[in-house]
Amino acid sequence: MFGQILEITVMNLRNLPTRLGSSSVIVVGIAGVVGVLIAILAMAAGFEATLDRSANPNRVIILRGGSSDEMSSGLGVNDVRILSTLEGIVATSGELYTVADIPKRSSGLDANLVVRGVSEGAFDVRPEVSIIEGRNFTTGTSEIIAGRGAAAEFAGVEVGGKIPIRQSEWTIVGIFEADGSAYESEIWTDLAVAQSAFRRGGTMSSARAIVADPAMVSSLAELVDEDPRLDLKLQSEAEFFSSQSESLTTLIETFGYAVAYIMAVGAVFAALNTMYSAVVTRTVEIATLRALGFGGAPVVISVMIEAIVLALIGGALGAGIAYLGFNGFTVSTLNNVSFSQVAFDFAVTPELIQSGIGWSLALGLIGGLFPAVRAARLPITLALRGE
């Protein structure tokens, strides 16, 4: 039987050039499904990866009790002072988190740009941050350093540029990078100046801290929770950013799979029509093989192999187009949790490519099954007469 399968399959594949037009329908249809699916999921993967890169295993974030994001949180100077004295805390940084309406380069429309007021401690707890152009801001002035993602997305955010914030002009004096993390979508300025401009008095939104050992995060969280002087919540950055990305990545993935399922229905029908046409045009050929002693099972398997090969070619084509067209493509979107624009790159990962190829394989199996069964069950005598 294996010999018969091999012989029929080789014959079918050799005849593909004579059916190039009809066969390309399967290839193009499945390439479209896989390409769109991977491209949409690459958006979710890129957004999630950007927030994941923001997390340091030795770094924790402290918010007001009951707050889930920095925008709704509030800390006092005394809170940060107490935190800095806890055993296991190496460095702390109290910070102000707010947003300003700045026009985007692409549309000219205002969008939320994160303004983070920081002190020198912010650079101690984030060693990955480095100035790549210009210089750092001067304490006590309305100078700003901008992440390279913010510089790419927002108008006027460039060294020497001026942007309007709170009825005054602020000067961009430097551009920084932070290992591709979400911090690159922010602009930073002096904490005291930001507190004054946004009328926040001596309050802060959150605090970052470096812990001596990541294993201490749970015990520190319990210590902060039980301290009667504090109404704060301490959690690892990984946990925090995971909660920040969950809702948007789920939404994007749901949309991606919904579109893929709709397109997959069309691709399956295209595959069915193509394979049925191939079987009809080769009715006499298949009947002759059956009359010569070839079994029904080898015919079924050979037709399905042909459909799978065409589907895999389409899957590889779609994955290649998605990778070449979207991997590393930079966009920004509104993080509906933090109410801010986050710049990120599409990430066409090996896992997404494998998933896309898996989809093409499944579509090929479905599209080839029924035509293959019809080919095997066709009565030999009727088929030889072309009926």
| Tens-digit pLDDT profile for residues 99-125 | 999 999 888 888 889 999 999 999 999
Do 372 and 251 belong to one domain? yes
- Which of 159, 189, 212 finishes a domain? 212
Distance separating alpha carbons of residues 188 and 372, to the nearest angstrom = 64
- Which of 188, 212, 236 finishes a domain? 212
Q: Between 235 and 48, whose confidence is greater? A: 235
Do 107 and 124 belong to one domain? yes
Residue type, 214: P
Distance separating alpha carbons of residues 43 and 58, to the nearest angstrom = 28
pLDDT, residue 297, reads 72
Summarize the confidence of residues 222-232 as an average pLDDT.
Answer: 92
Domain span including residue 140: 59-212
Per the rule left: phi > 0, alpha: psi between -120 and 50, beta: everything else, 336 is alpha
- 357 falls within a domain: yes
Residue 383 has pLDDT above 60, yes or no: no
Summarize the confidence of residues 298-324 as an average pLDDT.
Answer: 85
- 238 falls within a domain: no
> For all residues of the chain together, what is the average pLDDT?
85
Would you say the C-alpha torsion 190, 193, 199, 204 has a positive or negative sign?
A: positive
pLDDT, residue 272, reads 73
pLDDT, residue 319, reads 94
Which token pair is 370? 């029924």
pLDDT, residue 232, reads 93
Do 262 and 174 belong to one domain? no
- 292 falls within a domain: yes
pLDDT band at 183 (very low <50, low <70, confident <90, very high): very high
Judged by average pLDDT, the poorest of 23-27, 195-199, 236-240 is 23-27
pLDDT, residue 75, reads 93
Strand partners, 334: 341
- 336 falls within a domain: yes
Distance separating alpha carbons of residues 7 and 1, to the nearest angstrom = 10
- 36 falls within a domain: yes
Buried-state track 287-317, b at ≥16 Cβ within 10 A, e below 16: bebbeeebeeebbbbbbbbbbbbbbbbbbbb
Question: What is the DSSP pairing of strand 110-118 with strand 186-190?
Answer: parallel
Do 69 and 206 belong to one domain? yes
Residue 380 has pLDDT above 90, yes or no: no
Distance separating alpha carbons of residues 224 and 230, to the nearest angstrom = 7
Which token pair is 47? 């957004």
- Which of 212, 235, 269 finishes a domain? 212
pLDDT digits (tens, 9 = 90+) for 345-354: 889 999 999 9
Summarize the confidence of residues 322-333 as an average pLDDT.
Answer: 86
- Residues sharing a CB contact under 8 Å with residue 374, sequence separation 6 or more, in sequence order: 276, 279
Q: How many domains does the chain have?
A: 2
- 236 falls within a domain: no
Distance separating alpha carbons of residues 387 and 382, to the nearest angstrom = 5
pLDDT, residue 48, reads 83
Residue 21 has pLDDT above 80, yes or no: no
Do 208 and 300 belong to one domain? no
Q: What's the half-sphere exposure (Cβ side, CA atoms, 13 Å) at 190? A: 15
Residue 147 has pLDDT above 90, yes or no: yes
- 231 falls within a domain: no
Do 249 and 374 belong to one domain? yes
Do 114 and 175 belong to one domain? yes
Summarize the confidence of residues 359-363 as an average pLDDT.
Answer: 87
Q: Between 263 and 341, whose confidence is greater? A: 263
Per the rule left: phi > 0, alpha: psi between -120 and 50, beta: everything else, 12 is alpha
Summarize the confidence of residues 358-365 as an average pLDDT.
Answer: 86
Summarize the confidence of residues 181-200 as an average pLDDT.
Answer: 93
Question: What is the DSSP pairing of strand 206-211 with strand 89-103?
Answer: antiparallel
Do 202 and 254 belong to one domain? no
Residue 267 has pLDDT above 80, yes or no: no
Distance separating alpha carbons of residues 239 and 76, to the nearest angstrom = 23
pTM of the model: 0.75
Buried-state track 352-367, b at ≥16 Cβ within 10 A, e below 16: bbebbbebbebbbebb
pLDDT digits (tens, 9 = 90+) for 33-73: 899 899 989 988 888 888 787 788 899 999 999 888 898 89
- Residues sharing a CB contact under 8 Å with residue 8, sequence separation 6 or more, in sequence order: 289, 294, 298, 299, 302
Q: Quick one: how far is CA 182 from the chain centroid?
A: 13
Summarize the confidence of residues 277-287 as an average pLDDT.
Answer: 63
- 226 falls within a domain: no
pLDDT band at 365 (very low <50, low <70, confident <90, very high): confident
The residue whose two tokens read 């100046």 is 193
Spatial CA neighbour of 378 closest among 298, 284, 303: 284
Do 46 and 75 belong to one domain? no
CB 185 within 8 A of CB 116: no
Do 47 and 105 belong to one domain? no
Q: How many CB atoms lie within 10 A of CB 77?
A: 12
Residue 296 has pLDDT above 70, yes or no: no
Do 256 and 192 belong to one domain? no
Do 71 and 117 belong to one domain? yes
Strand partners, 144: 172, 189
